[in-house]
Amino acid sequence: MVEVLLDVINVYKYFGGVKAVDGVSFNIKPGEKLFIVGPNGAGKTTLVNLISGYLKPDRGSIVFKGDDVTKLGLAEKVRRGIARSFQLVTIFDKLTVAENIAIAVASHLGRNIVAYRSLHSYRDILDDTERILKLFGLEGVADRYPTEISQGDRKILDVALTFALKPELIILDEPTSGVATREKYAIMERLIKALEVSNVTPIIVEHDMDIVFRYATRVLVMHEGKVIASGAPDDVRKMDDVKRILLGGIHA
């Protein structure tokens, strides 16, 4: 196993005169749970866009498993093992939960599913689909349409679709946004358990600090495009800048 899975080195991204990402450096080791936090406009989404290949940095390097992937696009980064889920869930509402996952599995395998053939005709795709359904606790809603399941299960399905691409590093953007408070912890428990069992390392952008401090092994705090703090949750929450920017000056 590699010592450092991802190494982001002095990365910059400009939009006109705005430095959306301003000299950011950090790394993540296999098995860590890195949460990226910060106020709106801090550069969090731009940073994960750079890592996942939706954008390319103006300066700096991104190294994955020892290989420079800075200039690679989305498709190649997915092939290398970096995949990203989105804050706004993209799901086919006219397909069942199982069919949504089967499409993602087939895409990863480079296979086409013929519409008039039963999913049971594709044994390898079906086996992987069933494994993912069970892993994420979706087997009970496998035959339902996404419009018939809870918002929490839709969030889980979104991550399961990304997981079907078999990444080693998965980037989750606000996985609990738009979900009732009572559901947030149940969603995170399911996601974290599935990722741990599968040895997939997550980078999670999250705004709910209770979720962050409960599940992170390391927290990266961004403000105005820069990293202003990085470390273990208990250490980060005691830092004056973090309390001022994220916790409204409240002592943690």
pLDDT tens-digit profile, the chain (252 residues): 679 999 999 999 999 989 999 999 999 999 999 999 999 999 999 999 999 999 999 999 999 999 999 999 998 999 999 999 875 557 899 999 999 999 888 877 766 655 545 555 677 888 999 999 999 999 999 999 999 999 899 999 999 999 998 999 999 988 888 888 888 999 999 999 999 999 999 999 998 989 999 999 999 999 999 999 999 999 998 898 888 887 664 333
pLDDT given at position 106: 85
Separation of alpha carbons 43 and 134, rounded Å: 35
Separation of alpha carbons 14 and 111, rounded Å: 38
Output b/e per residue, 50-66; b: 16+ Cβ within 10 A. Answer: bbbbebebeebebbbbe
pLDDT given at position 116: 43
pLDDT given at position 117: 55
- Does the domain at 6-245 match CATH 3.40.50.300? Answer given as yes
pTM: 0.89
* Terminal Cα-to-Cα distance of the chain (whole angstroms): 36
pLDDT given at position 45: 93
Q: Which of 131, 157, 162, 135 is nearest to 146 (CA)?
A: 157
Separation of alpha carbons 252 and 91, rounded Å: 38
Tell me the C-alpha to C-alpha distance, in Å, between residue 143 and each of 90, 96, 98, 99, 130.
Answer: 18, 5, 6, 8, 12
pLDDT given at position 85: 87
pLDDT given at position 241: 84
Q: Which of 186, 100, 191 is nearest to 141 (CA)?
A: 100
pLDDT given at position 112: 62
pLDDT given at position 251: 37
What is the total residue count of the chain?
252
